[in-house]
Amino acid sequence: MRYVTLLLFLMLPLVAQAGVYKWIDDNGKVHYGDNPVASQPNVEVKIDDAATIPSFGGDDDQMSREEKRERLLQSMQEDRLEKKEQREQQKADKEHNRQKCNRYRDQMRHYERAGALYKLDKNGERAYMSDSERTRATRRLQANIRKYCR
């Protein structure tokens, strides 16, 4: 039944002089024909002759195919470039995270080995960390290591 409907639809340009009617049968299937069916509500279909005449192998059709092909190829190339940029960005992010990971691990080893930790104050003098400050700094380092060393 589908093939008949499709065939009728494709032959519409051939019967463009006659009126084309569309109706839906009791089973809900759509039908097209050149004569209205009295038992069903019909809708006359308006057909634009220029838009429905198929061209098989004409220059315009070939040009259209070439344009479509070029657009498709261009779109595929843009997708490839976008994916390549994403991979490069991911690679750069991974390298940046690796460097941070190494820096935080080195700092953690220093914290573990050092007997006393200090920071330089505004005058350039050593300001030693208390045990609670050292614990907080160690926890921050551990969190950063978990974040960047995956």
97 and 29 inside one domain: no
Query: Nearest CA to 24 among 8, 3, 39, 2?
Result: 39
State how far Cα 110 lies from the chain centre: 46
The confidence score (pLDDT) of residue 18 equals 61
19 and 89 inside one domain: no
pLDDT digits (tens, 9 = 90+) for 3-38: 666 666 666 555 445 677 787 887 878 877 887 777
8 and 80 inside one domain: no
Domain span including residue 65: 59-148
The confidence score (pLDDT) of residue 55 equals 54
- Name the maximum alpha-carbon separation found in the chain: 103
Which of 14, 35, 52 is a domain's end point?
A: 52
The domain tally of the chain equals 2
35 and 67 inside one domain: no
pTM here is 0.48
Cα→Cα distances 43→29, 32, 109, Å: 14, 10, 83
